[in-house]
């Protein structure tokens, strides 16, 4: 029957890939593993933000479920994150939970507006070296976040972590039917409970909720003064959340060799934050660590794993809180260590790679990593990396403008030919490429092989013609292409700096 339908209609009637028993098993188990890993993270981020653990746990539930429906990157995990927690912590401390929730809702609205304005298209301007730096810094942060769980703990924690690492490294070589992280978590939990081992557990991280979240509006005065307080934090939530989410989506695109809808992901993040705020959550964005567990460690590829991670999280903490509380932190620490090691781009720091790579690319990568580690903010690191890449690119292109000249056979005209892209960085030295004293009375500047991009270039051309005019000579600019002629015609003689 479907073969008789037009091709454009067939995809609408095709079975979702997750209905396959093999894919369904993978997605369900992946969702369970991610849910287990989300619990201590959400509790930790709640503490970082200065709010009750329930706020972070409910935020992780609503973010995951909503983004599974609205998001543009299947299998990517969104939940409460450390980056957003750092943004809202001062607001929660100074003004309370009500203002925090209001800021989350407003931040979600800002994200939707930015998505409509096309902010996702800016991702094309992020160089590969910044992406590599982002990934490497992320791996370091993920690993560093586990260190506190390995310091000042009973000695039994170390062999437990070692055993979990052996399971996660060795089991995939025997079978991939069940995700190795899930096996490690179950085995270590059974061992610690059966042997009554006194080691830190999930329950030690904070109280787990025993009821479902209830929607409602934030308890704040709906006044201009309130808006002035929450607006800067809402903007921070929006920008940090979008940047981390879009960078993570691009990373998953590369890992899975598939394309995602970045615009949909952008407004999906906004919708998820609005929903999260209405349920009293602290907001969030894409989580690279849990996404790597879902995509790389567990092999998930569809929205189902994201949706189930939120559902399982709520079921585990509300209905099975006593069981979840017995999971040893050593198991979850080991999972995150494996994620950190597998996330780091080891090829990028190999001596052979560093020898072949242009120094500018390496500098951008190192700068991105350093900025992230210094601020513990991935978004700031990306912005710094992009700025450094822009400066290096501008310096490189600035030296790609060449000027050659020939003397007309009759000796009365000097013809200069300009080659390259003229913009603020490359046009500064253009003025010094001409012989104002030695040239004849008539000079032609041929722009056939050049392009004028900005006012700085027009000002440089004005300065050249002005210098010739001051010596009683005529300089004629010819063969401008249409865009160059348009900007030159509208600005020439109007800038003042060349006179």
User: What's the rounded Cα separation, in Å, for the pair 33 and 30?
Assistant: 5
Q: In the predicted model, what is the mean pLDDT of the chain?
A: 86
DSSP H/E element including 442 = strand 442-452
Strand runs labelled E in 341-412: 402-407
User: What's the rounded Cα separation, in Å, for the pair 345 and 197?
Assistant: 36
Coil, strand or helix at 409: coil
The percent of residues above 70 in pLDDT, for the chain, comes to 95
Per the CB < 8 A criterion, the answer to whether 59 and 276 are in contact is yes
Number of helical H runs and strand E runs in the chain:
19, 6
Phi/psi at 160 (5° precision): -65, -45
DSSP H/E element including 87 = helix 82-95
Residue 498 has pLDDT above 50, yes or no: no
Residue at token pair 């993978």: 26
- pTM, two decimals, is 0.70
Q: pLDDT tens digits for 296-342?
A: 888 888 999 999 999 999 998 888 878 888 889 898 888 888 878 88
Residue 269 has pLDDT above 50, yes or no: yes
| CB neighbours of residue 156 within 10 Å | 15
Which pLDDT band holds residue 496 (cuts at 50, 70, 90)?
low
Mean pLDDT of 355-368: 90
Per the CB < 8 A criterion, the answer to whether 63 and 272 are in contact is yes
Sequence-distant (≥ 6) Cβ neighbours of residue 467 within 8 angstroms: 431, 434, 436
pLDDT the model gives residue 418:
92
Q: pLDDT tens digits for 172-207?
A: 888 777 778 888 888 999 999 999 999 998 888 777
């Amino acid at each position: 029957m479907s073969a008789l339908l037009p091709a454009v209609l067939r995809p609408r009637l095709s079975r979702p890939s997750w209905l396959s028993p093999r894919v369904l098993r993978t997605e369900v188990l992946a969702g369970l593993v991610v849910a287990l890993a989300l619990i201590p993270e959400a509790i930790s981020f709640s503490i970082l933000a200065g709010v009750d653990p329930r706020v972070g746990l409910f935020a992780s539930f609503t973010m995951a479920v909503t983004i599974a429906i609205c998001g543009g990157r299947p299998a990517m995990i969104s939940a409460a994150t450390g980056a957003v927690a750092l943004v809202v912590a001062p607001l929660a401390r100074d003004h309370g939970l009500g203002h925090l929730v209001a800021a989350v809702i407003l931040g979600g609205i800002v994200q939707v507006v930015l998505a409509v304005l096309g902010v996702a298209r800016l991702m094309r301007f992020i160089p590969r070296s910044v992406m590599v730096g982002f990934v490497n810094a992320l791996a370091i942060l993920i690993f560093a976040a586990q260190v506190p769980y390995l310091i000042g703990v009973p000695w039994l924690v170390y062999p437990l972590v070692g055993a979990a690492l052996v399971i996660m490294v060795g089991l995939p070589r025997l079978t991939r039917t069940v995700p190795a992280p899930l096996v490690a978590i179950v085995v270590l939990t059974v061992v610690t409970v059966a042997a009554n081992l006194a080691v830190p557990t999930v329950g030690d991280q904070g109280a787990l909720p025993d009821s479902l979240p209830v929607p409602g509006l934030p308890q704040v005065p709906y006044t201009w003064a309130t808006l002035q307080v929450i607006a800067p934090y809402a903007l921070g939530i929006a920008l940090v959340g979008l940047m981390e989410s879009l960078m993570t989506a691009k990373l998953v695109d590369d890992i899975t060799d598939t394309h995602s809808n970045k615009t949909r992901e952008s407004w999906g993040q906004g919708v998820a934050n609005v929903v999260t705020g209405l349920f009293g959550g602290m907001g969030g964005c894409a989580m690279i660590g849990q996404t790597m567990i879902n995509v790389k460690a567990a092999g998930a590829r569809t929205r189902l794993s994201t949706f189930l991670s939120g559902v399982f999280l709520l079921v585990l903490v509300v209905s099975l809180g006593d069981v979840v509380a017995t999971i040893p932190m050593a198991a979850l620490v080991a999972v995150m260590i494996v994620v950190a090691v597998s996330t780091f781009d080891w090829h990028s720091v190999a001596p052979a790679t560093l020898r072949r790579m242009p120094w500018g690319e390496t500098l951008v990568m190192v700068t991105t990593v350093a900025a992230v580690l210094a601020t513990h903010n991935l978004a700031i690191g990306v912005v710094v990396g992009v700025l450094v890449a822009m400066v290096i690119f501008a310096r490189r292109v600035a030296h790609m403008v060449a000027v050659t000249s020939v003397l007309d056979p009759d000796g009365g005209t000097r013809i200069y030919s300009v080659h390259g892209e003229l913009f603020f960085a490359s046009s500064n030295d253009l003025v010094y490429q001409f012989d104002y004293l030695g040239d004849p009375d008539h000079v032609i500047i041929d722009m056939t092989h050049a392009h004028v991009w900005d006012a700085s270039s027009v000002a440089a051309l004005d300065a050249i013609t002005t210098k010739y005019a001051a010596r009683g000579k005529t300089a004629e600019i010819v063969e401008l292409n249409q865009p160059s002629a348009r900007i030159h015609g509208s600005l020439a003689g109007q800038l003042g700096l060349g006179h």
